Amino acid sequence: MQKRGLKSLPREKDKDLKENLYKNVDVYRLVDNLERCMQCGKCVGFCPVASLSPSYNSRQIIGDVLNGQQERWLKSEEIWRCFWCAGCYTLCPVDIHFPLLIMQIRYRAIENKYGLKYVAPFKRFAIAAWQDGLTFVPASTKGRDRIRKIRTNIGLPPWPEVSQKAREEYKAIFDLTGARAFVEAIDENDVKHLDLAYKEGRVTFANRKSG
Amino acid sequence: MEDNIYTPLNLNDIDDSIQEEIRTKCGIDVDLCLECGKCSGGCPNGHIFDYTPRKIVRLVKLGDKETLMTMDALWICLSCQLCLDRCPSGIDIPAILDYMREKACRGGVEASRPRVKLFHELLLSSIRERGRVSELDVVLKYNWKTGEYMKNARLGVKMLLKGKLNLSRSRVKETEEVRRLFEATIAKDLP
Amino acid sequence: MQTERVVNPEEKIPHIPKAVFLFRSCTGSLEYPGTESAVRETLKIFGINSVMNADQTCCSGYLLTCSVHKPEVSLAATARNLAIVEKTGLDTYTFCNGCYGYLSELSHILLYHSKYLAMANELIGRWGYRYEGRTTIYHIQEMWYRLKERIAAGVMRPLKGLRVAAHYGCHYLSRQYGIFDDGGYPTFHEELIESLGGTPVFYKERQLCCGYSVGRGFTHKEVLVQPHLHKKFKSAAEAGVQLMTTVCPGCNVALDREQPNLNKRYGETFNIPVIDLAQVIALALGVPISKLGFDANTVALDHILKILDYDKGI
Amino acid sequence: MKQAGKKAMIIGGGPAGMEAALRIGQAGFESVLIEKEAALGGTILKLCSSFPRWESPLELVEEKIKQLKHCSYVKVMTETTVIESRTRHDGYSILLKLNNGDTTELDINAVVLATGFEMMDVSIYGEYGYGIYPDVMNSLEFETLLKAWGDGMGKTPQGVAFFKCVGSRDRSKGYPYCSKICCMYTAKQAGLVKDMFPNAKVYVFYMDYRASGKGYEEFVREVIEKKHVRYVRGRPAKVLPDGGRLLVRAEDTLIGIPIEVTVDVVVLASAAVPRQETAPLAAMFGTKTGEYGFLEQKRFSLARASNRVFFAGGCGFPVEAPFAQQQGASAAVEVIELFSQ
């Protein structure tokens, strides 16, 4: 057992430290102010996910995206853990909307066929949504009947009215924007193993029983 | 579904014992550390350390004895003293690593790089028996113990032809004193 | 409530509208229909007609943030839905934090990136829709707070000091600008609960996220969501919370459906029913219990109704 | 012999104002020092000890008051405020409200504003619970608590946490500028707590510590190394009530893990903003204020805001007491230069 499972990281060369490097992640220009980040750590202090799995560190993800070390995160397990609660955005002294950034990192990961197992469960919802114009429609008829029963006893129409016109238009939007191809390209059984990007360098207090 | 979910470290629960030990035993006060990162920048192996030298000093401050003893950096540090030489506060990080290495060995903690530990032991036992390192002895024992018998054999032959390999199993006259020296230091004070 | 970043109710809702456009929420209408009916019944009590429209589809924000499709879809779908609302000339009132968060974020993006607005309008133009950003997006909890005095006056079944904890949900508070309270320490739900006769509880993890919001409930249930909820419910139970209110059916799903799993996994005895703030208000204002759809909840409310000695029949 | 048409008024009796009044008086020109509080000294009266040499600030105030009494050209009027002023050809005629309630009008040829700074209202930071939890206070309020502890009153704390950059260097809820002095007075306060309660745990949550002055870095290092105050790099995210104490959530960015700590007192080093009186006074004398309400001086001048109006000390930008004095002296130089033409 010579190697302890730690593959050696390339010396973090600053080979690609060009300006506004984060632009190739922030393709939709939703986090234009990323370069204001002062690395102050307020977001990680609040983050409910970081307090459970320390290798998830939003500050370091921003730091790496700014310094051009994005590849490390594409193959990582951590970018799929964000709860999207945007508490980091609420607290950030420079108003960086981090969830919008991690959403776009996830797109880059999906393009490179990483993390598909974390998108697969929603493929069903997306496909169902084209038909129903609604999300979260239970797949089983038992589930749908239960909803119809509850809705009728409280005096609501058995099923939320979504007009046929609405469904067609909603479905058409998916086709026209190429989103349908994107959804169908998600291959559920491509369960590539994802590695924790930052587990080394983490103080693992995991097995320490604290109060 | 066992539950070793991480809970954030509470700073009040930091046990200063390891920091105290290093202050008293090695005479190093880690509070002097400016957290500037000069040591980690220069460290030749820094990029494959799981904890860079600065983070090791930080671990001492956080009192994380368990990680200090099981981390990989303990065994792949070349103790080249560059971090000590560069440190604006003169903190002797190699000495901290030496101390933690002894503590790990004494505590029976399984080394993350067993071969490195084996090599250390072979060198020391050769000095202990013969008062100095007899290279051939150590190399052969190392190959024997690691099971790679013919490792570097061709290199060995070339060195022999060039007279670079000292075949004699040389020994110091007063090996008895060297052995007593080992007994005196190893036995006692380390917890 | 303080500071100028926060809008005061009279400013955001200058006068009480006669009718509002009630934006249908997928979870709200399917998982917990009681929320939708409670909202409509309560608005009816105050003479506000809630207009719903069958052409309005899902806001598609949830699927967007689960990264299952790209922003173009959601921008176009939002533009389309809001164009429908603009045709009615009413204000958009959502009763789900998710819808509110996604609608205001996506409309913000549409109105600040003319490129995206043009793309969306061009796409939905083929069906005659056009989004100009005339409608303002509200959340129904803002209407409840705006009607605080009238609600307090109209209470027929006071909550008799029931220990109620408010769960604010992240997507509303994280809008930061133009909301009713500072994201750091909101109190306006507690004021509402107090006006209904309940005792609000400020437990330690009051503002922890429900953890379900963006699909982590499906992908990381055992790894992250359950330990996270365990932390939240342990703190709530210690503070003696008897009932929890949410303003988002998504949070309702997370907090309500997960309690039995937590009890099984951690050997706890959590029994805190979770219902929408609108349902609590409707309950206090005397709306018949049969209209509130409590049987959709996993954690039953019978012991709460017994404490408030409401006979289940009415 | 008081020279006609050479009378200066200094508004604000802090270190800057006292120094300006003294220098102008010593140069033989009449100077009127008005202060709205009952005693001269300004903010430093509230402080205990000082950096970088741990001296008591009261000694500085007593010394200055002694010198002011000694100088006959200086007239000190405490509990006096400015009501309004009319511009005249060679200055202003200023209506003052005295401590006994009635008013008086003085003809003044040069005005030195030295109204100082105050703490920003940090209740906007709901996440820290200022104004909600009693044990969360800003640094000025903490000075009074330090004094109480010094006299043996108040409960002995087990843990104190200092938060730096609350309101400063924050473009979303506060001000983008760095208030310059918080790093040093927070280190001083932390050191004092450790002196009074050696086994209390004292934490300072910082992003950087800016100690760029004579003896400043050694001062902070002494607090860290000798007094064992634990400096944690990471701006705190949240303060929660936890069994009667306060739980602080933050990240230790130097090791990259989220941390928590339970303490009894949380001190917020809030941003320093100009006092509310600065804006009306500046308007009254027609001088311009900068983006955040601080007074702006004309280019190439030391302390001149407009041809007969000068300023010194905290109302220009937050500044330590010794430097406020220096600014007071340079304002005095410009007044003296104006009077000796």
CATH code matching the domain that covers B12-106, chosen among 1.10.1060.10, 3.40.50.300, 1.10.260.40, 1.20.1560.10:
1.10.1060.10
- Amino acid A202: pLDDT: 53
- Amino acid C2: pLDDT: 39
Confidence of residue D3 (pLDDT cuts 50, 70, 90): low
- Amino acid A1: pLDDT: 36
Same domain, A124 and A153: yes
- Amino acid B174: pLDDT: 86
Same domain, A158 and A85: no
- Amino acid D240: pLDDT: 92
d(CA B28, CA B176): 34
Domains and CATH numbers, chain D: 7-116+275-339 (3.50.50.60), 120-272 (3.50.50.60)
pLDDT tens-place string over residues D101-155: 899 999 999 999 999 999 999 988 889 999 999 999 999 999 999 999 999 998 9
Same domain, A101 and A141: no
**Does residue B2 have a pLDDT over 50?**
no
Put simply, whether C182 touches D (Cβ < 8 Å) is: yes
Whole-number percent of chain D with pLDDT over 70: 99
CB contact under 8 Å between D126 and C202, yes or no, is no
> C-alpha distances in angstroms, C170 versus C1, C39, C62, C101, C246?
17, 20, 14, 9, 11
User: Would you say residue A9 lies in a domain?
Assistant: no
Average pLDDT, chain A: 81
pLDDT tens-place string over residues D11-51: 999 999 999 999 999 999 999 999 999 999 999 999 989 99
State the span(s) of chain C assigned CATH 1.20.1050.140.
Answer: 9-140
Same domain, A133 and A79: no
- Amino acid D2: pLDDT: 60
Q: Enumerate the residues of chain C whose CB falls inside 8 A of the CB of residue A167.
A: 57
Residue C283: name the closest of C297, C269, C298, C271 by CA: C297
Q: Enumerate the residues of chain A whose CB falls inside 8 A of the CB of residue B51.
A: 200-201
Q: Enumerate the residues of chain A whose CB falls inside 8 A of the CB of residue D258.
A: 44-45, 47, 50-51, 54
CB C16 within 8 A of CB C147: yes
d(CA D202, CA D221): 15
Put simply, whether B98 touches A (Cβ < 8 Å) is: no
**Closest residue of chain D to C239, computed from CA coordinates:** D243
Put simply, whether D237 touches B (Cβ < 8 Å) is: no
Q: Enumerate the residues of chain B whose CB falls inside 8 A of the CB of residue A208.
A: 66
Put simply, whether D243 touches B (Cβ < 8 Å) is: no
Bridge partners for D245 per DSSP: D242
- Amino acid A187: pLDDT: 82
Q: Enumerate the residues of chain A whose CB falls inside 8 A of the CB of residue B52.
A: 201
Q: Enumerate the residues of chain C whose CB falls inside 8 A of the CB of residue D131.
A: 2
Distance from CA of B23 to the nearest CA of D (A): 13
Confidence of residue A198 (pLDDT cuts 50, 70, 90): low
Task: Determine the distance from the C-alpha atom of residue B1 to the mean position of all C-alpha atoms in its chain, rounded to a whole number.
Answer: 37
Confidence of residue B31 (pLDDT cuts 50, 70, 90): very high
pLDDT under 70: residue ranges of chain C? 1-5, 213, 311-314
Kindly list the partner chains of chain D, i.e. chains with 3 or more CB atom pairs below 8 Å: A, B, C
Q: Which of residues 31 through 70 in chain A touch C, CB cutoff 8 A?
A: 48-49, 52-53
Which of B6-20, D127-141, D239-253 has the least mean pLDDT? B6-20
CB contact under 8 Å between D236 and A42, yes or no, is yes
CB contact under 8 Å between B9 and D259, yes or no, is yes
Is residue B121 classed as helix, strand or coil in its secondary structure? helix
d(CA A185, CA A173): 17
Same domain, A74 and A126: no
**Does residue B102 have a pLDDT over 80?**
yes
State the span(s) of chain B assigned CATH 1.10.1060.10.
Answer: 12-106
User: Would you say residue A6 lies in a domain?
Assistant: no
Bridge partners for C34 per DSSP: none
Whole-number percent of chain A with pLDDT over 70: 83
Please state the φ and ψ torsions of residue D310, each to the nearest 5 degrees.
Answer: -125, 170
Average pLDDT, chain D: 93
Q: What Rg, from alpha-carbon coordinates, does chain D have?
A: 22
CB A205 within 8 A of CB B6: yes
Amino acid type, D270: S
pTM of the model: 0.89
User: Would you say residue A5 lies in a domain?
Assistant: no
Query: For residue C222, what are the contacts with CB-CB under 8 A and spacing of at least 6?
Result: B1
Distance from CA of B41 to the nearest CA of A (A): 11
| Tokens encoding C100 | 């509110």
d(CA A85, CA C216): 11
CATH code matching the domain that covers C9-140, chosen among 1.20.1050.140, 3.20.20.140, 3.10.450.50, 1.10.10.10:
1.20.1050.140
pLDDT tens-place string over residues A72-101: 788 888 899 999 999 999 899 998 999 999
CB contact under 8 Å between A54 and B6, yes or no, is yes
Put simply, whether A167 touches C (Cβ < 8 Å) is: yes
- Number of A:D CB contacts under 8 A? 83
Per CATH, domain C151-307 is 3.10.100.10: no
Put simply, whether A82 touches D (Cβ < 8 Å) is: no
State the residue range of the domain holding A179: 120-184
- Amino acid A14: pLDDT: 47
Residue B68: name the closest of B36, B27, B109, B40 by CA: B109
Please tell me what DSSP assigns to residue D130: B
Same domain, A77 and A33: yes
pLDDT tens-place string over residues D271-290: 999 999 999 999 999 898 89
Task: Compare CB distances from D172 to A45, A54, A94 and report the shortest one's residue.
Answer: A94
**Does residue B40 have a pLDDT over 60?**
yes
Bridge partners for C94 per DSSP: C23, C139
What are the start-end ranges of the H helices in C54-135?
61-65, 71-88, 97-112, 114-125
D197-229 residues labelled b (16+ CB within 10 A) or e (exposed): beebbbbbbbbebbbebeebeebbbbbbeebeb
What is the number of domains present in chain A? Answer: 2
CB D38 within 8 A of CB D79: yes
Same domain, A103 and A143: no
**Does residue A2 have a pLDDT over 90?**
no
- Amino acid A3: pLDDT: 40
What are the start-end ranges of the H helices in chain D?
15-26, 57-70, 139-150, 182-196, 216-225, 278-284, 321-339
User: Would you say residue A94 lies in a domain?
Assistant: yes
| Tokens encoding B66 | 């368990």
pLDDT tens-place string over residues B168-182: 777 888 888 888 888
User: Would you say residue A189 lies in a domain?
Assistant: no
- Amino acid C212: pLDDT: 80
State the span(s) of chain C assigned CATH 3.40.50.11810.
Answer: 151-307
What are the start-end ranges of the H helices in chain A?
42-46, 58-67, 71-74, 87-91, 98-111, 120-132, 141-153, 164-176, 179-184
- Amino acid D1: pLDDT: 53
Kindly list the partner chains of chain A, i.e. chains with 3 or more CB atom pairs below 8 Å: B, C, D
pLDDT tens-place string over residues C28-83: 889 899 999 999 999 999 999 999 999 999 988 888 888 888 889 999 999 999 99
Please state the φ and ψ torsions of residue D93, each to the nearest 5 degrees.
Answer: -110, 120
CB atoms inside a 10 Å sphere around CB C208 = 23
CB atoms inside a 10 Å sphere around CB D4 = 10
Higher pLDDT, D64 or A206: D64
pLDDT tens-place string over residues B105-133: 888 888 888 999 999 989 988 888 888 88
d(CA B63, CA B57): 10
